[in-house]
Chain A
Amino acid sequence: MDAILLQLLNGLDKGSAYALIALGLTLIFGTLGVVNFAHGALFMIGAFCAVTMQRFLTLSYETIDETKKDFLGNPLKVSSTYVESWFGPNIGSTIIDWAVPIAIVMAVPVMIAIGFVMERGLIKHFYKRPHADQILVTFGLAIVLQEIIKYFYGANPIPTPAPDMFRGSFDFGVLLGFDPNAIIYPYWRLVYFAFSAIIIGAVFAFLQFTTFGMVVRAGMADRETVGLLGINIDKRFTIMFGIAAAVAGLAGVMYAPINSPNYHMGMDFLVLSFVVVVVGGMGSLPGAVLAGFMLGILESFASMNEVKDLLPGIDQIIIYVVAIIILLTRPRGLMGRKGVMEE
């Protein structure tokens, strides 16, 4: 029982990342009808926003401390960060410690801007082209973005720690009456799950309860009619592209402490997120979220030793097996709408 609960929890954080990326992919697909292979790269750029913020906050200058000597007897160089010297050592170090959450503030405008530039500069010209062309050009874009990041940050993973207070683990089992240490779960993963739940909720609320969201939903259902009513639907869809990019970026920012960002993390997630989108049903937002969590949890169950003894290697392929079964038995995916991308 406790093992099952533990795997359920383990699946949640990966599932949250899948759900967030798949949500963004579906937003773009549902509004603009574009298959965006560069979405994984947006996730990766988000993670590098966290890295950048951390580097920015730890920018430092060197002073020579005359009172201390190194082992050769020369005056010791002391490097101290600007942040600490401005805000005092206590507040300063706290700010540096919280670099990842602070990066959210930076990531939102940056990602929205990247999204706008991408849509206006490139994707706009591909609406009328076949899906294969859209896949190809965004695939090229993903390579370019990835190489740019590699040029500036190098090829190695960059550790980006979470704030100190989230660094430990939470003994979940005690709450539910199990033995201590039976179900241990890192705090940051809980934070990640809560964060993604908030983002997903916010996106749905935005679409459901605002006038803007209503127009966007109307546009997703019938773009032409909404245009004929005198509403500038293109502009709204561009904004939705920005929002989708921001969702992917935020997923990346918060994922940085879980997995040190490297330049190809986006590609690794992209393949899985596409599988998630297809399983959930092309163009269905609830489907993307549901499938994201479902596949994340399935993956972690499949990596249990009991399951692996029964079916060796199942943990490596479970997601693909599920995707193939779903695609062949329920061609529209779990919650796909009729008439979306059907051949």
Chain B
Amino acid sequence: MFGLNTKDTTLLLIVAMLTMFAPFILNPFPADSAMAQFNAGYPDLMQRFVIFGIFAIGFNILFGLTGYLSFGHAAFLGVGSYSAVWMMKLLTMNVIPAIALSVIVAGLFSVVIGYVSLRRSGIYFSILTLAFAQMSFNLAYSVLTPITNGETGLQISLSDPRILDGAGAARYPNLFGAEMNDATTLFLGGWSFTFSVGYYVCAVIMLLCFYLSVRIFRSPFGMMLRAVKSNQQRMNYTGLNTKPYTLAAFVISGMYAGLAGGLLAAMDPLAGAERMQWTASGEVVLMTILGGAGTLIGPVLGAGFIKYFENIFSKINDSVLHSWFSFMPDGIEDLMVTLVHPFVGKGWSLTLGIMFMLVVTFLPGGLVEGGQRIGRLLRRKPAKDDSASGKTEPAE
């Protein structure tokens, strides 16, 4: 189906089911129960899941397939956000032109940066992309203030021209009238499920992106990119110019990042320079590696994982901890709370850092590899590397 083999079709269908029923799946606990704080099924967070999923899928096309580690991908995300907001200021609040422009601008931007950066590889490539991203970040903060509105961030206002919108047009980002922050809530017993327009717009776009990335992974083009990763020198010796292929991969992943940026702006029409900072680029690296670089589903998992923990783990405070450990004797309860305290709440990035180090050290294939290992253990089969996800061995 859709030009995919059975395994990939199954994977795509599973992802489609998961995203479409996410409001149910992510809200397993009744709204007024003590566990409700672990519910992730509210629109804002679900939108982040899929948007950063898109970002990570795009990053994975570059890093997972070609092995080029870019530390500056957030620049494209930021550029996408800015152009989307400008479109909403000048043309219309409909999100389609905004998203289209953000993809185009990020694509052009990545052609320029990629053309220069891809002249080098390895650590030099990482540092060149890092330098470009920091440069864009600094420029957005200082000289380009007329375009980016500097520290305040770019926002929409009532006095913007919006030439395509009539007098009675919607004041919020919308898709032909359906406003992004419109939501209906379904109450079912103790549970409540929220369905928002914005989430479903993002989810459909993510599914398209995911499908596209499966096609890229399975295409001759994807094969060529993997060949670049495993031995670029050999490719050059056979008389093949790898540059167009790597540049294409770079631009595609830049456009994915721009799309993610555009969607972020479409959900919440503001754009700030901090989206371009190199820590933001580091975050997408974390997501991709944590989930499993070079696998299809890994980046999406990683993005969901990190965004879930960022939002849910950081909400756990001492009183929550006390209620968890309340079954223990008082002394031990306090001890446990003291022990766990540094790793939750504000300290959740410590947990993230430790987890990331463990994954890089012991599970270079990320969560996906972990899942495969567990699966093999359960089936008690000898180790065989026929993973459905198209993992490639990292090259020296």
Report which A residues bind B (CB closer than 8 A).
35, 122, 125, 130-133, 135-137, 139-144, 146-148, 150-151, 267, 271, 274-275, 278, 282, 312-313, 316-317, 320-321, 323-324, 327-328, 331, 341, 343
Contacts and interface: CB of A to CB of B under 8 A. Distances in A.
Contacts of B67: 132
A274 B130 CA distance: 10
Interface stretch (B19-27, B120-128, B306-314, B375-383): B120-128
Given A133-B360, A271-B130, A143 B352 contact: yes
B353 A131 contact: no
Interface stretch (B99-107, B133-141, B315-323): B133-141
A124 B194 CA distance: 50
Contacts of A267: 279
A40 to B, nearest CB: 12
Interface range, B side: 35 or more
A331 B120 CA distance: 8
B127 to A, nearest CB: 5
B131 A35 contact: no
Contact of B282 (A132, A139, A324): A139
Contacts of A125: 361
B123 A135 contact: yes
Nearest to B128: A327
B18 interface: no
Nearest to A315: B142
Contacts of A141: 353, 357
A310 B116 CA distance: 26
B395 A130 contact: yes
Contacts of A324: 116, 128, 131-132
Contacts of B394: 130, 132-133
B32 interface: no
B278 interface: yes
A140 B360 contact: yes
Contact of B347 (A151, A313, A341, A343): A151
25 contacts: A35-B123, A132-B69, A135-B69, A136-B289, A136-B360, A137-B361, A140-B357, A143-B356, A147-B350, A147-B353, A148-B350, A150-B347, A267-B279, A275-B127, A278-B124, A278-B127, A312-B143, A313-B139, A316-B138, A316-B143, A320-B134, A320-B138, A324-B132, A327-B127, A331-B120
A323 B117 CA distance: 12
Contacts of A143: 349-350, 352-353, 356
A320 B121 contact: no
Interface of B: 67, 69, 116, 119-124, 126-128, 130-132, 134-135, 138-139, 141-144, 232, 278-279, 282, 285, 289, 342, 347, 349-350, 352-354, 356-357, 360-361, 364, 394-396
Contact of A274 (B127, B285, B350): B127
Contacts of B360: 133, 136-137, 140
Contacts of B127: 274-275, 278, 323, 327
B278 A151 contact: no
A320 B353 contact: no
Given A136-B360, A275-B127, A341 B122 contact: yes
Contact of B139 (A131, A142, A274, A316): A316
Contacts of A133: 360, 364, 394
A37 to B, nearest CB: 9
Contacts of B119: 328
A273 B205 CA distance: 39
B350 A343 contact: no
Nearest to B362: A125
Given A136-B285, A320-B131, 17 more contacts: A35-B123, A132-B69, A135-B69, A139-B285, A140-B354, A141-B353, A142-B353, A143-B350, A144-B353, A147-B350, A275-B131, A312-B143, A316-B139, A320-B132, A320-B134, A323-B128, A341-B123
A135 B67 CA distance: 13
Contacts of A146: 353
A327 B144 CA distance: 26
A21 B389 CA distance: 41
A314 B144 CA distance: 12
A243 B285 CA distance: 30
B68 to A, nearest CB: 9
Contact of B120 (A136, A137, A343): A343
A135 B124 CA distance: 12
